Amino acid sequence: MLRYILLTVIVGLSLAERLTSPHFEEFMSVHGRSYESEEEHNSRYWTFYKNMLQVDLLNKLEQGSATYGMTQFSDMTTEEFKALYSRPISEKDLFYADMMPEAEDVEEEFYNNDEVDWRTEGAVTPVKNQGQCGSCWAFSTTGNIEGRWFIKTGDLISLSEQELVDCDKVDYGCEGGLPFQAYAEVMRLGGLVKESDYKYKGVEKKCHMDKSKVVATVTGREQVSTNEKTIAAYVAKNGPVSIGINANMMQFYEGGVAHPRKYLCKPSELDHGVLIAGYGTDGGDPYWLVKNSWGPSWGEEGYYRVYRGDGTCGVNKMVTSAIV
């Protein structure tokens, strides 16, 4: 639907209008872009221009307060963006996730929190950057374990995603993976080491984990409810949780509470692993506070606020946590 509307807009433009993109030089400067040939420059110029037309439509169609605009991904086609930064989560994956033990019911008192932000409690490490490696699952996994470990011990430790990329034998490194599988692999490996002891490279390498340097361990794993009130209560009690999300609207997200129409962000098409770090309300819009792994220059200093309460973009479809 969106592509049809976009095509209609483009066809209605004059040639001069199609070849004019006053913000492209700004984009190149801000994001440090340079291209090897005039042909590549022109191709990226045209892609950027079409993307900006799409951005205009997204802003008009947005139901929340989110705005869309120029991001570091603005010279990439949708296909390129998805190939590098998302990996489809299948119905089979969801089936296996559903076979995990269910989390125990949360006490009633935790349902009464209007706002939770685990960053202010010291349970969330700074936003990281997965680079051009499909390792979002590893960042979602470590973010969850970092938070749970902090709540248990009082120590916030930045844990190694590269250990998972290299040493997890069930998931696929830079080709994707699933947090609920990674929890089991962390148990098999004996735990996670510090980020500083096994630094992130963004490419798959041979496993060289030193088990004597393990600083955080996992004793189990569980699935959380698909009911968003229950998820919120779980987050209030237990800390950040790993989720799957449809990243379709994230390529051009700038800020605000994203509440896209379902045909633009189908809840059944999960393809990205992120971390719910809290929740709140802004201008009457309830939202999830989502920590992403595309660096602090993306979104709201690396965070995505997405509407809470109606399963927007599938935020409630695959919610899991390690037990530490």
DSSP single-letter state for residue 106: P
Specify whether the CB–CB gap between 321 and 100 falls below 8 A.
no
The sign of the CA dihedral 168, 172, 173, 177 is negative
3-class DSSP state of 267? coil
Q: Which residues pair with 223 in a beta bridge?
A: 102, 320
Rounded-to-integer distance, Cα 25 and Cα 28, Å: 5
Question: Is 272 among the catalytic positions?
Answer: yes
Catalytic-labelled residue, pool 174, 292, 313, 316 = 292
Q: Catalytic annotation on 23?
A: no
* Alpha carbon of residue 239 to chain centroid: 17
Q: Are 312 and 279 in contact (CB under 8 A)?
A: no
List Cα–Cα distances, 1 to 4, 137, 144, 161, 261, in angstroms: 5, 30, 36, 37, 12
206-222 burial code (b ≥16 CB/10 A, e <16): eeebeeeebbbebeebb
Instruction: Given the residues 51, 167, 248, 272, select the one marked as catalytic.
Output: 272
- What is the distance, to the nearest Å, from the Cα of residue 191 to the centroid of all Cα atoms in its chain? 23
How many CB atoms neighbour CB 14 within 10 A?
8
How many other C-beta atoms are found inside a 10 Å radius of the C-beta of residue 141?
32
Residue count (the chain): 324
Q: What is the dihedral of CA 150, 100, 249, 266, to 10 degrees?
A: -160
Annotated catalytic residue 292: yes
Catalytic residue among 136, 167, 174, 313: 136
Q: Which residues are catalytic?
A: 136, 272, 292
